[in-house]
Amino acid sequence: ALDYELYETNFSEEETEKIKEFAQKSKLTLNAVLQGTWGILLSRYTHKRDFTFGIIVSGRSVELPGIENMAGVFINTLPFRITFKEENIGSYLQRI
What b-and-e string marks burial along 16-44, b requiring 16 or more CB atoms within 10 Å of the CB? eeeeeeebeeeebeeebbebbeebeeebe
pLDDT digits (tens, 9 = 90+) for 28-79: 999 999 999 999 998 888 899 998 999 988 777 777 788 778 877 778 899 9
pTM: predicted TM-score of the whole model, two decimal places = 0.73
